Chain A
Amino acid sequence: MREKASNSYRNLPDDKGRFGIHGGRFVAETLMPLILEVEKSYYEARQDQSFLSELLYYQKHYIGRPSPLYFAQRMSEHFGGAKLYFKRDELNHTGAHKINNVLGQALLAKKMGKKKIIAETGAGQHGVATATACALFNLECEVFMGAEDVRRQKPNVDRMRLLGAKVHPVTSGTSTLKDAMNEALRYWVAHPDTHFYIIGTVAGPHPYPEMVRDFQSVIGLETREQMMEAEGRLPDALIACIGGGSNAMGLFHPFLDDEGIDIYGVEAAGHGLDTDKHAASLTGGSPGVLHGNRTYLLQTDAGQIKDAHSISAGLDYPGIGPEHSWLHDIGRVNYVSATDEEALKMFQLCSRLEGIIPALEPSHALAFAAKLLPEMDKDKIVVLNMCGRGDKDLEAVLPLLDERGLL
């Protein structure tokens, strides 16, 4: 049932911010003028050579782009089958892909004359990236973070504070990432004239899903070039983990029209999809409206939002970006899942075989690679987005590895 929009999978959203039935602008009236202003300014900025060259400058000299495309030989041999490459976005400044988007939006905020930045964060990676960009550009930074996450992710809270950001612990609702986003939106509603909201993933009201995707697409664009250089051809498959879905969309989007390439998004199955403790919005949820967009959500049959669960705080969100929901509906991308246990094993395996400590998020992607690669011929090539480094997870993961005899 594949159905293309004007012969391409790459020209959405439409002018209402829709990807099929998903996306849109489901926000309170107070925010409408603000998001219309962001949209107008962003559309101007992406045509503006001086904006783009400033972005390129910081991508190269500050983030350290392009990130390497690395042939993970020992993991490939271990799995047996296709060749596995890592797109090494964990080597970016601040240790994850989040900075790609944050730099773009911070430059936009600056261009719009905004001096104050709001962000939400779960594990703290987006918060740290935002605090970093705000330090760099001399912007005030306020980060909203669930009170529970503030406690669990103390090193990231400390980093944000050192970088000059104010961290607001959120105790409303269930004190998690979705509540942090509610609270950030509320704060924005109360400070519409002075603040710019840097959303951390490809979700939220239009134009955020499109804008964040565009800033993250540097991942996929580089991968195309680097793969041509390394192998003289494009890969056969792509794999990335999905919470809100920004690293995945960044890798996938430049390849969507290459029909021969199989694309896999890996959601967090937590304790398992047959339990109520998972974060797989696409494979275990249904379409609904939250945080400004229609998309697949974890919700009750009365339309109340449920809490997500994943061992990875970065995947622990009850929604997903609307473009992923559309790609799921039309079948262009295959959405699969990996459990906490599977991710833990890969966390250890990748550290031992490649000397790369992956974050728990891409450990989910590795868990699917472990299933896919042995099924593929040796001349096939797979690219996996190594979207973050695992140092942040050590405190949580080491006792669990110890229990399982994996240390």
Chain B
Amino acid sequence: MSRISQCFANAAAKNRAVLGVFVTAGDPDEATSAGLLDSLVENGADFIELGMPFSDPMADGPAIQAASLRAIKAGMTLQKTLDMAAAFRARHPDTPLILMGYFNPIYIYGQQAFITAALAAGVDGLIIVDLPPEEDEELCDTASAAGLSFIRLVTPTTLGSRLPVVVKKAGGFVYYVAIAGITGTKSAATDSIRSAFKRLREETDLPAVAGFGIRSADQAAEVAGIADGVVVGSALVQKIEDAVASDKRAELIQEVGTFCASLSAAMQRS
């Protein structure tokens, strides 16, 4: 069983939803970023979405764009992100690691070289925001054949007749974008998530998580009652931004760990 499937199976056995967390690789700097990953895993994160920094992230809000720019400024590249992934895998053999980002840095790195390096680093899946099914031959087809799960974003605009197209080659799990919009802007509404998941379950047997617009432990607990997993990103990234702004990097790892633990507790269904 793949690490991703195992992760969902383990949670289901304990009547828990899976907690996924997003941070940008190298934000605010390489060492702190690696420390954050460890802290997240130690405090109950079930899988990690590691953002590959890109200068122009068009589906992300100000918090995650700022995180990308901080990381790029601190010298982060795709190669260093892959190195960071490999180091993470050595420390955490069982936690699924998903790389999330935009296509251009991968295109410049070379698709085949990227797939090879990602597999060697122990990466489990990819979320490439600007590669819809219409562009599957760019990366999805070869990455999936090589054994990387190509995780699809499903949005409120794609729940209709387009849904079968979107989930057709989906791997790992399906990621439901709970708001019409970019990361970190609005709050997700539980009712619309409930009806969206009803529709999703008709179309795919893959586990399905919800993300975008989930900012607190209370909100995460509500969504955990509906989805197989919950992803929190911008709320974490905002804590990094605040820590950098107030020059409190030393306390950051502890603070993020505490927040993650509260989210993890919220994954337990009653």
Judged by a CB distance under 8 angstroms, whether B62 is at the interface is: yes
A231 to nearest B CB, angstroms?
45
Residues of B46-89 contacting chain A, CB below 8 A: 53-59, 61-62, 65-66, 69, 72, 77-79
State whether A290 and B180 are in contact (beta carbons under 8 Å apart), knowing that A28-B129, A173-B69, A305-B55 are contacts in the complex: no
Judged by a CB distance under 8 angstroms, whether A117 is at the interface is: no
Are B61 and A186 touching (Cβ within 8 A)?
yes
Bound Cα distance from A350 to B129, whole angstroms: 47
Bound Cα distance from A192 to B162, whole angstroms: 15
Residues of A165-191 contacting chain B, CB below 8 A: 172-173, 178-179, 182, 185-186, 189-191
Q: A28-B130, A30-B180, A289-B102 are in contact. List 9 more A-B contacts (CB 8 A).
A: A29-B155, A33-B158, A189-B180, A189-B181, A286-B108, A288-B108, A291-B56, A302-B108, A303-B105
Are A185 and B158 touching (Cβ within 8 A)?
no
Are B56 and A305 touching (Cβ within 8 A)?
yes
Interface flags, A294-334, vs B, CB<8A=1, else 0: 10010101111100000000000000000000000000000
Interface flags, A184-208, vs B, CB<8A=1, else 0: 0110011111000000000000000
Judged by a CB distance under 8 angstroms, whether A32 is at the interface is: yes
Interface range on chain B (Cβ under 8 Å from partner): 35 or more
Stretch of B15-23, B131-139, B197-205, B250-258 that contacts chain A? B131-139
B111 to nearest A CB, angstroms?
12
Are A288 and B104 touching (Cβ within 8 A)?
yes
Are B61 and A16 touching (Cβ within 8 A)?
no
Question: What residues of chain A lie closer than 8 Å to B108, measured between beta carbons?
Answer: 286, 288, 299, 301-303
Q: Pick the residue among A26, A33, A179, A302 that contacts B135 (CB under 8 A).
A: A26
Judged by a CB distance under 8 angstroms, whether A80 is at the interface is: no
Judged by a CB distance under 8 angstroms, whether A25 is at the interface is: yes
Judged by a CB distance under 8 angstroms, whether B40 is at the interface is: no
A362 to nearest B CB, angstroms?
28
Interface range on chain A (Cβ under 8 Å from partner): 35 or more
Interface residues of chain A: helix, strand, loop or mixed (majority): mixed
Are B154 and A29 touching (Cβ within 8 A)?
yes
Question: What residues of chain A lie closer than 8 Å to B196, measured between beta carbons?
Answer: none
Bound Cα distance from A302 to B75, whole angstroms: 10
Judged by a CB distance under 8 angstroms, whether A227 is at the interface is: no
Judged by a CB distance under 8 angstroms, whether B188 is at the interface is: no
State whether A182 and B58 are in contact (beta carbons under 8 Å apart), knowing that A24-B135, A27-B130 are contacts in the complex: yes
Judged by a CB distance under 8 angstroms, whether B216 is at the interface is: no
Judged by a CB distance under 8 angstroms, whether B99 is at the interface is: no
Are B134 and A16 touching (Cβ within 8 A)?
yes
Residues of A64-107 contacting chain B, CB below 8 A: none
Are B177 and A190 touching (Cβ within 8 A)?
no
Are A192 and B180 touching (Cβ within 8 A)?
yes
Name 19 interchain pairs, CB-CB below 8 A, sorted by A.
Answer: A28-B59, A29-B157, A29-B177, A30-B59, A30-B180, A32-B134, A173-B56, A186-B181, A192-B157, A192-B180, A193-B180, A288-B104, A290-B56, A299-B104, A302-B77, A302-B79, A302-B105, A303-B78, A304-B105
Judged by a CB distance under 8 angstroms, whether A292 is at the interface is: yes
Are B77 and A28 touching (Cβ within 8 A)?
no
B59 and chain A: residue at smallest CB distance: A28
